Structure 1
Amino acid sequence: MSPFNTPAPLDGTPAGKVPAALAEPVQKVSARWVTGLVLVNVGINAAFFGPINVFIGQQAISIDAPSKEAILSLVTACGAAVSLVANPLFGALSDRTTSRFGRRAPWVLAGAVLATAALLAMSFSAAVSLMVLFWCLVQLGANAAYAAITAAVPDRVPLIQRGGVGGLAAMGQTLGILAGAVFGAVVSGNFLVGYWLCAGALLLSVLPYLFHRDDPPLPAGAAGRFRMGRFLRGFWISPRRHQDFAWAWLTRFLVNVGNQLTIVYLLFFLRDVIGHEDPATGVLVLTGIYAVMVMITAVLAGPWSDRVGRRKPFVIGSSATIAMAGAIMAFFPVWPGALAGAAVLGIGFGAYLAVDFALLTQVLPFAASRGKDMGVINVANSLPQVVAPALALLAVTYGGGYRTLFLTAAAIGLLGAVFVVKIKGVD
């Protein structure tokens, strides 16, 4: 079966009366639209990963250095728990939005404003409880924006272009991660300024998309009457009825757990195991290598999968490559080993981000609920942020240290590669 012949059903929309907002896209999107999409991804990921990789850890050290691992795990896990609810919720709300500015743009703007304000407030937090509160608000706002911008891709991008657009979106995500690491190195331990830089990057990044959004509005009656029971039941997507969707969700969850386990304690790994004299700069170097590899493989693998009309071989190979990075970090806990691990992780994750994203858009159950369904998929990105810190804390504290942590990451990533073969509706 060709992956380019499977548009999602419209879930009861009468034939011949499909609004433009719900129609399967056939016209290629412009370079200007793609640029806006990429920049939003840059800003959101800078807001996520600057704090996760550097600033929350530095803030934890300033509050209680002996408990830094536990504080980092608590803050990131609570924020990720919020994102589990926020992403599908705001995706579903955007599906029903009938603003004249479109379905997705209002949520991109509102989410970015909330997350920006919360980052600024977090910079002044001197207690763990305040760190938790404001990081949860960051996650709430950023996930509202992320749910909307993610749903914009199946809304606007035709199947024959999704691998390429997915690769460019992955490049934007990587540039955002790199920006967060650059901020960490530039501010030299001043996490307050680091949070401000992340906030500014997020707010500025959404403006080009908002000015050139090309977001068709949904007619007022097209969403149907709102019923709370039906709205809540809609978040359950039966794995029996939609098996490809279920397997795609599971594989993404496993691969993201493996990836998160590899990076969650990177700052502490460089400081406590490798003995790097400037761990924040070390994170920047590793992130830079990782970023270059991600961007190269993402922009190559995405369009390549479009041309050959296949997704699964790319996803399987990239998942196995991600697992290999964990093994390298486990058996070579020295600076050259960390450099090699970062390069291999970037090679695998770049191809994975580009092609798996395109694959996911092809297994969505209904066109009328793309935002909600992509939000449910995005739970597979957020849930690992809850699971991975807990697993990492157990591995480092009770399970034998960082070697156990990285080997666990490799094993879980390999499971993700294995389960991709269960997806039947996409080649």
Structure 2
Amino acid sequence: MTTDAQAEQTDPLAEPRERVGRGWTASLSLANGAIWVGWYGPLQILLALQAEDFAPGTGMSKETLLAWVTGAGAVVSLAANPFFGALSDRTTARWGRRTPWIVGGTAGGALSLLLLAGAGGLWTMVLGWCLVQLALNAAFAAITAAVPDRVPRLQRGSVGGWLGAAQILGVVGGTGLATVTGGVGAGYAACAVFTMAGVLPYVLRHRDLRLPPQARPPWSWRAFAAGFALSPRRHPDLAWAWLTRFLINLSNALVLLYLLYYLRDRLHYPDPGEGVLILTAVNGLTLLATVVVSGVWSDRSGRRKPFVLWSGALMALATAGLAAWQTWPGAIVAAALLGVGFGVFTSVDFALMTDVLPTALDRGKDLGVINVANALPQVAAPVLAAPIVTYLGGYRALYLVAAVIGAAGAVLVRQIRGVD
């Protein structure tokens, strides 16, 4: 492992001032993308295929079974991200605060994906997916916290843009690996290998910031647990930012959850797995066209809220289009517009979140609480989507509800006062 001079000389609790280089940004982005490969190969393709195989023996529909499995994993994710973020805040290992959790989390996630590859029934599937969420959230919490540790405020939009680009490439890559490798087991194995390999450049080339033992507060489980309670009254900007992220991500989760079934059962697309891959690729291309540019533009302008507002409005419009124009061309147009909007949102919202963090000592924990707004929609989406699709109007009603939720999230960003 090499040594970064900046990591050796910088107080880990000080606000960073020196801009990070391209190598650091590229390797952290690759690690981030690798985590998303491990998540979205299963979420887009593999879990849905397993749900279809296992559903006849459970008495549930494939939609309901998939909802239960993804919901259980999301519950684990809700607790794991802030928990491991808080542990990394207090880690004084010689390799730094974040790196041990990145390595351990990705290794555990890869092994859990291999467990899913051999799942022979519902309960092994549930256990495997919950372990994937537990382990990969440990790594993701540490990767996310590395940004406010090392990146100055007016570079965070740009870095957030590259992380967002890696995220969508991870989604596309995970979907591609799950589709082309020739079976569920092979798809899981390919995702596991890529997830583990993707973190190595960051771990091997860049030394993490170390927390001096004297900087760590005295340990007690009571104080540790109490630290997760962030008062909306004391930190209103953080609360509004969290709610904005939650609602826009919930809207996006409602769109993605049943996409394979939507193409098969509503649009009657001949190869729905291939259709998901095509839509994901279209979405990824338009996202890549905006995610870095918007982050740089936000840094240069010094503004965050207008970017979040208008990107959220565009995504709501595209989602409403899925309800009004239920054809294959309509799905392609919606995927393209959603990519444009989510590209802007991903980079700038990330920078906005780092701008409203309350304390330097608790960056990992606070970002973990914020990241609950990414995971909680995975719990809420199945609860909302299953009855809407089954009893309350089908896919048209589902996408209209998703559009209203996304529009509400976009408007609420205006309540944040401490960020322009």
Q: TM-score range by the shorter chain?
A: over 0.9
For these two proteins, the number of residue pairs brought into alignment is 409
User: What is the deviation of 1:187?
Assistant: 2.9
Q: 1:41 aligns with which of 2, 14, 32?
A: 32
d(CA) in 2 for partners of 1:102, 1:221: 14
Q: Please report the RMSD computed on the Cα atoms of aligned residues, expressed in angstroms.
A: 1.1
Q: 2:20 aligns with which of 29, 44, 52?
A: 29
Q: 2:238 aligns with which of 220, 245, 248?
A: 245
**Contact 2:97–2:209 under 8 Å retained in 1:** yes
Q: Which residue of 2 aligns with 1:227?
A: 220
Q: 1:180 aligns with which of 171, 174, 178?
A: 174
Cα-to-partner distance string for 1:113-140 (whole Å, 9 max, x where unaligned)? 1110000011111111111111000000
Q: Which amino acid aligns with 1:327?
A: A
Q: Which residue of 2 aligns with 1:60?
A: 51
Q: 2:385 aligns with which of 392, 401, 422?
A: 392
Cα-to-partner distance string for 1:205-237 (whole Å, 9 max, x where unaligned)? 010110123311111121121011111000000
User: What is the deviation of 1:19?
Assistant: 6.9
d(CA) in 2 for partners of 1:367, 1:391: 36
**Is 1:109 the equivalent of 2:100?**
no
Q: Which residue of 1 aligns with 2:266?
A: 273
Cα-to-partner distance string for 1:252-295 (whole Å, 9 max, x where unaligned)? 00000000001110000011111111111101100000001111
**Is 1:301 the equivalent of 2:297?**
no
Point out where structure 1 has 5 or more consecutive residues left out of the alignment: 1-17
d(CA) in 2 for partners of 1:230, 1:19: 27
**Contact 1:105–1:213 under 8 Å retained in 2:** no
d(CA) in 2 for partners of 1:352, 1:89: 26
d(CA) in 1 for partners of 2:371, 2:315: 19
Identity %: 51
**Contact 1:19–1:222 under 8 Å retained in 2:** no
Q: How does 1:338-353 map to 2 (within 5 A)?
A: 338-353=331-346
Partner of 1:221: helix, strand, or coil?
helix
Q: How does 1:110-129 map to 2 (within 5 A)?
A: 110-129=104-123
User: What is the deviation of 1:185?
Assistant: 2.5
Q: Which residue of 2 aligns with 1:410?
A: 403
Q: Which residue of 1 aligns with 2:4?
A: none
d(CA) in 2 for partners of 1:80, 1:371: 19
Q: Which residue of 1 aligns with 2:77?
A: 83
Q: Which amino acid aligns with 2:176?
A: V
TM-score with structure 2 setting the length: 0.96
Q: 1:333 aligns with which of 319, 326, 329?
A: 326
Q: Which residue of 1 aligns with 2:149?
A: 155
d(CA) in 1 for partners of 2:55, 2:305: 46
d(CA) in 1 for partners of 2:210, 2:275: 46
Cα-to-partner distance string for 1:26-66 (whole Å, 9 max, x where unaligned)? 00111111111111111111111110110000011122257
d(CA) in 1 for partners of 2:207, 2:151: 11
Q: Which amino acid aligns with 2:26?
A: T
d(CA) in 1 for partners of 2:219, 2:152: 29
**Contact 1:180–1:198 under 8 Å retained in 2:** yes
Q: Which amino acid aligns with 1:40?
A: A
Cα-to-partner distance string for 1:347-379 (whole Å, 9 max, x where unaligned)? 000000000000000000101100000000000
**Contact 1:184–1:280 under 8 Å retained in 2:** no
Partner of 2:215: helix, strand, or coil?
coil
Cα-to-partner distance string for 1:116-167 (whole Å, 9 max, x where unaligned)? 0000011111111111111000000000000000000000001111000000
**Contact 2:244–2:413 under 8 Å retained in 1:** yes
Q: Which amino acid aligns with 1:398?
A: Y
Partner of 2:17: helix, strand, or coil?
coil
d(CA) in 1 for partners of 2:135, 2:179: 26
d(CA) in 2 for partners of 1:161, 1:19: 17
d(CA) in 1 for partners of 2:111, 2:64: 26
Q: Which amino acid aligns with 1:154?
A: P
User: What is the deviation of 1:21?
Assistant: 1.1
232-241 vs 317-326, which moves further: 317-326
Q: Which residue of 2 aligns with 1:11?
A: none
Q: Which residue of 2 aligns with 1:140?
A: 134
Q: Give structure 1 regions of 4+ aligned residues with deviation exceeding 4 angstroms.
A: none
Q: Which amino acid aligns with 2:12?
A: A
d(CA) in 1 for partners of 2:40, 2:179: 13
308-317 vs 221-230, which moves further: 221-230
Partner of 2:400: helix, strand, or coil?
helix
**Is 1:50 the equivalent of 2:32?**
no
Partner of 2:119: helix, strand, or coil?
coil
d(CA) in 2 for partners of 1:244, 1:388: 25
Partner of 1:367: helix, strand, or coil?
coil
Point out where structure 2 has 5 or more consecutive residues left out of the alignment: 1-8
**Contact 1:314–1:351 under 8 Å retained in 2:** yes
d(CA) in 1 for partners of 2:31, 2:246: 23
User: What is the deviation of 1:105?
Assistant: 0.4
Partner of 1:203: helix, strand, or coil?
helix
120-129 vs 87-96, which moves further: 120-129
d(CA) in 1 for partners of 2:404, 2:17: 40
Q: Which residue of 2 aligns with 1:312?
A: 305
